[in-house]
Amino acid sequence: MNVRPRLIEEIATPMTTPPLLEQPAWVALAAHRDEVKSRHLRELFDEDPTRGLRYHRQAVGLYFDFSKNLITDETLSLFAQLVRDLKVEQRRDAMFAGEHINVSQDRAVLHVALRMPKDRTLPVDGVDVVAQVHHVLERMTTFANQVRGGQWRGHTGKPIKNVVNVGIGGSDLGPVMAYEALRHFSMRDLTFRFVSNVDATDFVEAVYDLDAEETLFIISSKTFGTLETLTNATSARRWLVEHLGDDTAVAKHFVAVSTNAEKVAAFGIDVANMFEFWDWVGGRYSMESAIGLSTMIAIGPENFYEMLAGFHAMDEHFRSAPFEENLPMLLGVLAVWNHDFLGFPTVGVMPYDQYLHRLPAYLQQLTMESNGKHVTRSGERVAYETGPIYWGEPGTNGQHSFYQLIHQGTTTVPVDFIGFANSLNPLDDHHDILMSNIFAQAQALAFGKTEEELRSEGADERTVPHRVMEGNRPSNVILATELSPRLLGSLIALYEHSVFVQGVIWDIDSFDQWGVELGKQLAVTIIPELTSDAPTKLAHDSSTNALITYYRSLKENGRGDGDF
């Protein structure tokens, strides 16, 4: 398959498609919303005893129950029309074909190529990206096997026992989430640490008990220009050289993962020890690229390839299943329905699996950095809500903290529950207790408890209003057999593609992240102003001036009573 990359103007200004709010299906969904809003999930379930089965789909090892959303068949058929009219499938195909769908950066978006099998080809701008991907995967495999097998020796000849990934954002959250998620499959005599925050505490605590002779640093940065990562990498290099007493020790203890060979070399890492990826991999879509080197060392190449196969299986499903059966399409349109039509501002992601405890943080970057946008692809201010806030915690912990608000608060929080039929650590009846809570929470959210029910149970009259649970609060339940590398890949790809579907509907560029730049630039200006010899006269707004001056005086005299 060879494609001519479409001109940026052709993609950015699809003049044949009317703006979202004028789309007939969108207008019809708005009218339909008014009908549906007066309904209760209790009624919808009573009217259709098969609802729980009708609104579930199974694909790629996932059972997806979306019956407890405030939807009807009409909701789905209107969204099917919207997806058709907005040419979501064509946009999906354009992504898979390597077209420059990241319009503001004029880039292809090809994380799907990272998980294509070796026998596929995908020429983009004249280069087969699948061959490039597999070349790097093979280098990663060799290196991971050397570290795992003890053949990769440190400067003093000792095998590596500790792997420290230094990176931030997509160069941290994917690796740490995947390591935690797949810890069960990891090589237990290796220690893994993840340093992301420029707060020195992160680095100092991460290396506190490590032996430098046995420690490998993986400096992960797509751009190799991120201040936090370079600051931590510099401290890591100093720590290593101080402990080993020799500058040349860096060669055996530092490798880099980046798209920027020049900067890697300038930092002092031999590019022979650099694992490459490409500008068509977004940071938040990079965990299965070379950014996953720590994951591969932890779980081994075979399991890593299994994870890639899981991603790819979901890619193929997304690419080929009709809308009605397509998990990412359905998850995506339900998010739009809940956010834009029903007005629910956030989504809770609650994995009932301790191994997935970093999944909500990972999904926050994936969803919010992708779809937290205020202009369309052609730069018009949007007139509707885009990306909702994602947040979450593993169950059952959340139940004993914030679920109160989810059940009885004045804000409705649609929840994605994620659970597995089998525990990787079966122990007595823990797992059934855990899973009973998913089913019970989804049930309680949907159906609640009425005054009548409370009274018939003999509730004290004074407590009745406090105990009423209105219900009608939507949730999805995603079930699978058990957590595995393959399953993790499929689950992440499900969310990636759901984010894509939402972004296409909102006509935004889900693959840029300009919003993070301003704060970075301002911080660079402020850094020199925080030192004691900097000029005292500052040129910011009065709040920033006062905060900086107070900070400096606190730092200098410990009391904060300087002249500010």
Q: Which stretch binds ligand F6P (CB under 6 A): 165-173, 318-326, 370-378, 411-419?
A: 165-173
Report how many residues bind ligand F6P under the rule CB under 6 A.
Answer: 15
**Helix or strand or coil: residue 170?**
helix
Nearest approach, Cβ of residue 172 and ligand F6P (Å): 8
Buried b (16+ CB within 10 A) or exposed e, 80-108: bbbbeebebbebbebbbbbbbbbbbbebb
d(CA 476, CA 418): 8
d(CA 300, CA 117): 18
Among 226, 294, 484, 502, binds ligand F6P (CB under 6 A): 226
Among 89, 102, 114, 170, binds ligand F6P (CB under 6 A): 170
Nearest approach, Cβ of residue 517 and ligand F6P (Å): 8
Verify binding: residue 169, ligand F6P, rule CB under 6 A: yes
Spatial CA neighbour of 313 closest among 447, 523, 489, 463: 489
Q: What angle do CA 111, 113, 118 make, to 5 degrees?
A: 145
Verify binding: residue 221, ligand F6P, rule CB under 6 A: yes
Which amino acid does the sequence have at 424? L
Q: For ligand F6P, which is the closer residue by CB, 30 or 522?
A: 522
Verify binding: residue 472, ligand F6P, rule CB under 6 A: no
Verify binding: residue 174, ligand F6P, rule CB under 6 A: no
Verify binding: residue 166, ligand F6P, rule CB under 6 A: no
d(CA 276, CA 261): 8
Q: For ligand F6P, which is the closer residue by CB, 39 or 263?
A: 263
Q: For ligand F6P, which is the closer residue by CB, 67 or 226?
A: 226
Q: For ligand F6P, which is the closer residue by CB, 229 or 498?
A: 229
d(CA 555, CA 533): 13
d(CA 59, CA 66): 14
Verify binding: residue 223, ligand F6P, rule CB under 6 A: yes
**Helix or strand or coil: residue 164?**
strand
Which amino acid does the sequence have at 86? L
Could you give the dihedral angle defined by the CA atoms of residues 53, 57, 62 and 68, in that order, rounded to the nearest 10 degrees? Answer: -60
69 and 412 in contact (C-beta within 8 Å)?
no
Contact positions with ligand F6P (CB under 6 A) in 499-558: 513, 516
Spatial CA neighbour of 336 closest among 325, 347, 320, 348: 347
357 as an active site residue: the answer is: no
Q: For ligand F6P, which is the closer residue by CB, 167 or 395?
A: 167
Nearest approach, Cβ of residue 222 and ligand F6P (Å): 4
Verify binding: residue 283, ligand F6P, rule CB under 6 A: yes
Identify the bridge partners of residue 192 per DSSP, sorted by sequence position. 163
d(CA 138, CA 6): 32
Among 67, 162, 196, 229, binds ligand F6P (CB under 6 A): 229
Nearest approach, Cβ of residue 171 and ligand F6P (Å): 4
Q: For ligand F6P, which is the closer residue by CB, 326 or 513?
A: 513
Nearest approach, Cβ of residue 265 and ligand F6P (Å): 16
Catalytic pick among 99, 288, 369, 393: 369
Spatial CA neighbour of 384 closest among 504, 502, 506: 506
Q: For ligand F6P, which is the closer residue by CB, 217 or 323?
A: 217
Q: Which stretch binds ligand F6P (CB under 6 A): 112-120, 218-226, 292-300, 335-343?
A: 218-226
List strands edge to edge, sheet with 274-276: 191-195, 162-166, 215-220, 254-258, 274-276
d(CA 286, CA 295): 12
286 and 171 in contact (C-beta within 8 Å)?
yes
Q: Which stretch binds ligand F6P (CB under 6 A): 169-177, 188-196, 333-341, 523-531?
A: 169-177
369 as an active site residue: the answer is: yes
Catalytic pick among 37, 118, 430, 520: 520
SS (H, E, C) 265-307: HHHCCCHHHEEECCCCCCHHHCCCCHHHHHHHHHHCHHHHHHH
Q: For ligand F6P, which is the closer residue by CB, 79 or 224?
A: 224
d(CA 469, CA 386): 29
Q: Which stretch binds ligand F6P (CB under 6 A): 166-174, 193-201, 434-442, 467-475?
A: 166-174
Q: For ligand F6P, which is the closer residue by CB, 166 or 434?
A: 166
339 as an active site residue: the answer is: no
Q: Where are the beta strands (DSSP E) in 355-437?
A: 389-391, 415-420
DSSP secondary structure letter of residue 6: P
Catalytic pick among 9, 22, 242, 400: 400
Contact positions with ligand F6P (CB under 6 A) in 101-160: none
Q: Which stretch binds ligand F6P (CB under 6 A): 33-41, 215-223, 501-509, 556-564?
A: 215-223
Spatial CA neighbour of 507 closest among 15, 4, 7, 5: 15
Taking each helix axis as running N to C, give the angle between helix 129-149 and helix 301-320, from 0 to 180 degrees, rounded to the nearest 10: 150
Verify binding: residue 232, ligand F6P, rule CB under 6 A: no
Verify binding: residue 294, ligand F6P, rule CB under 6 A: no
Q: For ligand F6P, which is the closer residue by CB, 90 or 525?
A: 525
Nearest approach, Cβ of residue 284 and ligand F6P (Å): 6
Catalytic residue numbers read 369, 400, 520
Contact residues: ligand F6P, CB under 6 A:
167-171, 221-223, 226, 229, 283-284, 369, 513, 516
